[in-house]
Each structure stands twice: as C-alpha cells, then as structure tokens.
Amino acid sequence: MKLIVTKDYEEMSKVAAKEISDFINSKPEAVLGLATGGTPKGLYEELIKLNKQEIVDFSNVTSINLDEYIGLSGEHEQSYRYFMDHNFFNYINIDKSKTFVPNGLADNIDLECIEYDKKIAELGGIDLQLLGIGSNGHIGFNEPAEYLYMGTHQTNLAKDTIEANSRFFKSIDEVPRKAITMGIGGIMKAKKIVLLASGENKAEVVKELVSGKITTEVPASMLQMHRDVVIVIDEAAAKFLSLHSGEYIKSSSGL
Ligand code: GLP
C-alpha cells in the first residue's frame, strides 16, 4: 500500500491526475474503473486540463463505472451516468460508446448485474480502478455488512449513505434506496487501485482503511490485501495517521 499525503484537496487532485495520466501514457488502451462522488471532481477537472494540453489521450481508453442508483435514468441530474458525462466525458476525447455505467432502469436488475460482469471480463478486466470512500467505509456501494459480494449486485443503501448523499438531492426522500454496484471481488481484481479521500470527516475511516482490522464492517479494509494500491489523501483526512505533509510511502504490504 502506497500512501501519499498532500497539503490539500487541490494537490490531492493534481497528484491523483498525474498517477492516472502516467498510467494511461504507459498503456493507452487502458480499461479504467471510474468513481463518482464529491471527492474525484477535482481530479476529473485536472484530467480534462491534461487532455486539452495533449498530455494525456483518452481516445483508446475504455471506462467502466463502479455503480449507479436504481430507478434513475441517465438523464437524471443525480444519476452517475449524468455525473460522468457532465463532469468528465463531455470534456475529453474519449469515445462515449466505450464508457459503461450500470443501467439503473434495467427491467431485470439481476440480469443487468450479470451482463455488467460479463462486460468487464470481455474487456480483459480493469487495469486501474479509481475509488472514493464513504465515511462508513463503503467502496462503490459495498456497504458495511456481515458479508460482502464478489460480483456486481443490487444493494440497499445504508442509512449513513442515504444521509450523506442527500446533500446532492432536493430532499432526503428523493435519494434512491437501492443501487447496482460492482462487488468487492470485482474491485479487488483490478490490477491497480487509486483511492482518494479528503477532509476531516474521512479521517476516522482512513485510519481504519490503512491500519485497522480487515473486516466486512469496513469494506475498504479489504484493500489492505491488494498488491498495488495507491492512497492519495489530504492532510485533513490523514489527521489520525501521525504523518507530516509531503509524500509518505507506507511500507508495501499486500499479498
Ligand atoms: C458514494 C459513492 C462512492 C463514493 C462515496 C463517497 O455514495 N457510491 O463511490 O466514493 O459515496 O462520496 P464523496 O466523495 O462524495 O464523499
């Protein structure tokens, strides 16, 4: 696990953008697993700039997103398809037909999940998976639970998550209660993982992620078992890690 602590959100976004653009430059046809939420917005803005400056080229990249709310169409402003189009895809030279987000309006959600995993397999797996983290330890929408799932599946959102995500909706009643999410297995199969966290409200969970017990109650703790994880966090999110700013590389673990 490589841990990079940055001064603030802006620097976190720049460092993560460099990780990702360097990765694409070393593998122009990379399959990127992408994430939504407030945290990666700055990173997407940086990648848009790098693309405009011709420092990174998305023309051969394929993207596959982690999750989507069930019941929202891609035109709904809070759907993750809408988020990706309006915060990223519309501003870069990616081929939209090679961007995948689960269909939250599929008639048969279970079948949609099976097809999504087939799609990932057909693409040869995910090369680099980008993640945020919920303050309850969720990744994608894999919520704390007694057990976790390998593959893409439908899930009920945790109360904490509904509350946290209600800031994006007019009222809490509008927040969907269910979502489609890639499973922990799908995430762990990615060859490389880049996780971002920013702000004091993530400090507790970041400590669990980096040095806590590996438990399904903190789904992100599973990442301790991955061979190639880069965690980019700002100082506020590193508050409980007794570190200083600048680049800090934690001794590499993983299987
Ligand atoms: C959401 C998403 C996650 C995201 C997390 C944190 O519910 N499903 O992929 O990482 O919550 O979001 P934020 O970055 O807004 O704190």
Domain boundaries, the chain: 2-250
The pLDDT tens digits of the residues spanning 4-54 come to 999 999 999 999 999 999 999 999 999 999 999 999 999 999 999 999 999
| Residue 136 CB less than 6 A away from ligand 1 | no
Q: How far, in Å, from the CA of 52 to the mean position of ligand 1?
A: 27
Catalytic annotation, pick one of 143, 208, 234, 235? 143
Catalytic annotation, pick one of 51, 65, 138, 235? 138
What string of H, E and C letters represents the secondary structure of the chain? CEEEEECCHHHHHHHHHHHHHHHHHHCCCCEEEECCCCCCHHHHHHHHHHHHCCCCCCCCCEEEECEEECCCCCCCCCCHHHHHHHHCHHHCCCCHHHEECCCCCCCCHHHHHHHHHHHHHHCCCCCEEEECCCCCCCECCECCCCCCCCCCEEEECCHHHHHHHHHHCCCHHHCCCEEEECCHHHHHCCCEEEEEECCHHHHHHHHHHHHCCCCCCCHHHHHHHCCCEEEEEECCCCHHHCCCCECCCCCCCCC
pTM as predicted: 0.94
Q: How far, in Å, from the CA of 134 to the mean position of ligand 1?
A: 5
Any catalytic annotation for residue 244?
Answer: no
The pLDDT tens digits of the residues spanning 158-215 come to 999 999 999 999 999 999 999 999 999 999 999 999 999 999 999 999 999 999 999 9
Q: Which CATH number fits domain 2-250: 3.90.550.10, 3.40.50.1000, 3.40.50.1360, 3.40.50.720?
A: 3.40.50.1360
Please give the number of the atom of ligand 1 that sits closest to the Cα of 179. 8
Q: How far, in Å, from the CA of 167 to the mean position of ligand 1?
A: 12
| Residue 134 CB less than 6 A away from ligand 1 | yes
Q: How far, in Å, from the CA of 161 to the mean position of ligand 1?
A: 8
